Amino acid sequence: MRYRGLGETGLSVSEIGFGCASWWGQKAFDERQALGLVHAALDHGVTLFDTGAAYSGGEAEPRLGRALKGKSLDGVVVASKVGTYHDGRRVVRDFRPAAMEASVERSLRNLGLDVLPLLQLHGPAVAELDDDMMSMLEGLKRRGLVRAIGANSFDPAVIEHIVGLPTFDVVMVDYNLLRPERAPLVARAAAAGKGVLAGMPLAMGHANRQILRLRAPRDLWYALRALKNHRADIARWFLSARAAGPLVCSARTQEPPRGHRAGRTLWLPPQLARHDRVAGGAGLCAGRSKCLERGGRHDEDGPFDGEPCGLGYGAVAGDPGGGEARPAAGVAMRSDEDFLKEAIALALANVQEAGGRPFGAMVVRDGEVLATGVNEIAATGDPTAHAELSAIRRAAQVLGTPRLDGCVVYASGQPCPMCLSAMYLTGVTRVRFACSNADGEPFGLSTAPIYAELAKPLEAQAMDVRHQPVGGAGGELYAAWKARQNRT
Ligand SMILES: [Zn+2]
């Protein structure tokens, strides 16, 4: 499993989240299996569980609470939503601050938590985001009931507004194969320091034709919901089927190979993964469709083992109406070339969506991407915000240690001496880069001249770098450090 920092919240979340909504939360879906899926997700390293007070007729939150009961929740980020709730008959929308506070307190009880790591407003209107609302939300943080605040809206104008509000740490947008036009919005949110969760990352399954294959009551449930809530998306999919073809195919190449129960890595389709601030999404089998009908296998030919396998199907984080089942996650071991291609895709997205420089990098350990980075000099004004250095910083955060022993760095371009030194300093084991300094030279993107300077003795280098002793200060300074080290 890969993990990503969620904006500036200080929270780290698995790249793939578990959407606790929809069919998964319905009473008709077997409780034991629903809980088993959450436990399988935990076992596979999923640390992001997204639900909402209104989901599954109000059943999703308490069910998630039962699933998490007695489990170690160290590092687990439970996200829920406020502003809508289920009154037993229907979903009620209520963004009055007092009602929202009461709803949060109910959610905490339902989930069995003292603190909700992430609270998200569920489809607020811009007019509702007034000062009263902000002070109530800040109050929830102050009282320690909520750690981070986000908003979930599929209206880009609302998200644009929220990106400008300092109270919010996270936004959840509908970012998927049918919504590539959200990419610039995602980039702006990320540049503003907001964590981004991709809701409906699998386009609710409308991007494949499974929606028309009704084989069980649950399929009808999803199809009716799709027709009710997402008619325009379905029409759009059929109209754009030709254009969408290659994207769907590329997602398909990541389908789990047979026998994928061995618990290998889940990962997002590259179309979503290229934004290194995006997390969330989908990927766990919610027991719908083939998996259950074939007795627990996604691949048609495999032996039955009677359980949903917990891999490869999407229960979708942040999907306000619920999740959708569709092959989602790939598990094949990736080669150096695969990782380099991803680094290049990161670099290209940085150019095309953030107006940044053409560099992307990833830190990988044991075949798992710990962190990614792109060149953020343009966005941050930080001249050291190179792709490799950014990825190294994040990887160290993820690991909770400054040592990256055993890690491999994949970079779209040849690392500059600064980044290469950082790799030496942190104990990186291996480095692969796709474009050389010679490739970059015609574009002014080579650091070969600096390498050439560094290869010379200090006194022969172009920069005036000299050792100038200052009365033994070096000795005292280092001795002071050593003395303090010995004390601790
Ligand atoms: Zn560099």
> Is residue 388 among the annotated active site residues?
yes
What is the Å distance from ligand 1's center to 338 Cα? Answer: 21
pLDDT greater than 80 at residue 101: yes
| Token reading at 11 | 């929270």
Q: How confident is the model at residue 136 (pLDDT cuts 50, 70, 90)?
A: very high
**pLDDT at residue 283 in the model:** 32
pLDDT mean across residues, the chain: 76
Question: Token match 């994207």: residue?
Answer: 247
Residue 177, pLDDT score: 58
Cβ atoms of 34 and 24 closer than 8 Å: yes
Q: Which residue has the higher pLDDT, 291 or 267?
A: 267
DSSP string over 102-122: HHHHHHHHHHT-SSEEEEEEE
Q: pLDDT by residue (tens digit) across 272-290?
A: 444 444 544 333 333 333 3
358 CA to middle of ligand 1, Å?
12
Could you tell me if 351 and 372 are in contact, meaning their C-beta atoms sit under 8 angstroms apart? no
pLDDT at 206 over 60: no
The predicted pLDDT at position 377 comes to 92
Residue 474 CA, ligand 1 centroid: distance in Å: 29
Active-site residue (options: 388, 441, 453, 476): 388
Asked if 186 and 173 count as a contact pair (C-beta separation under 8 A), the reply is yes
| Mean pLDDT, residues 265-271 taken together | 42
Instruction: List the single range of 20-34, 214-228, 335-349 with lowest mean pLDDT.
Output: 214-228
Cα 362 to ligand 1 centre (Å): 13
Distances in whole angstroms, Cα of residue 392 to Cα of each of 89, 416, 463, 487 = 50, 14, 27, 30
CA of 462 to the centre of ligand 1 (A): 19
Ligand 1 center to residue 204 CA distance, Å?
Answer: 39
- Quick: pLDDT tens for 391-407: 999 889 888 899 999 99
pLDDT above 90 for 433: yes
Q: Which of 52-61, 281-290, 409-418 has the lowest mean pLDDT?
A: 281-290
Give the distance (Å) from ligand 1 centre to CA of residue 2. Answer: 23
Residues in contact with 194: Cβ distance below 8 Å, sequence separation at least 6, in sequence order: 7, 8, 162, 163, 168, 169, 170, 171, 277
Percentage above 70 pLDDT, the chain:
71
Instruction: Provide the pLDDT for residue 243.
Output: 25
Residue with tokens 């350990």: 365
Under 8 Å between Cβ of 253 and 266: no
Candidate from 42-56, 92-106, 444-458 with smallest mean pLDDT: 42-56
349 Cα–ligand 1 center, Å: 18
- Tell me the pLDDT tens digit for each residue of 239-251: 433 222 222 222 2
Q: How far is ligand 1, taken at its centre, from the CA of residue 416, in Å?
A: 4
Q: Cα 105 to the chain's mean position, in Å?
A: 27
Average pLDDT for 227-236? 53
For 346: left if phi > 0, alpha if psi spans -120 to 50, otherwise beta; the answer is alpha
Report pLDDT for 37: 87
| Whether residue 332 has pLDDT greater than 80 | no
3-state secondary structure (DSSP) of residue 79: strand
447 CA distance to ligand 1 middle (Å):
9
183/352 Cα distance (integer angstroms)? 10
Backbone angles phi, psi at 183, to 5 degrees: -55, -45
Nearest Cα to Cα of residue 426 among 454, 452, 407? 407
Alpha-helix residue ranges (DSSP H) falling in 263-386: 270-273, 289-293, 336-354, 377-380
On the question of pLDDT at 252 being above 50, the answer is no
Q: Which of 93-97, 299-303, 445-449, 467-471 has the lowest mean pLDDT?
A: 299-303
In the beta sheet, which residues pair with residue 18?
Answer: 49
Average confidence (pLDDT) over 153-177: 87
What's the mean pLDDT in 424-436?
Answer: 97
Instruction: Return the closest-CA partner of residue 55 out of 85, 87, 27, 77.
Output: 85
Token readout for 102 is 């009461």
Q: Six-digit token pair at 107? A: 């959610």
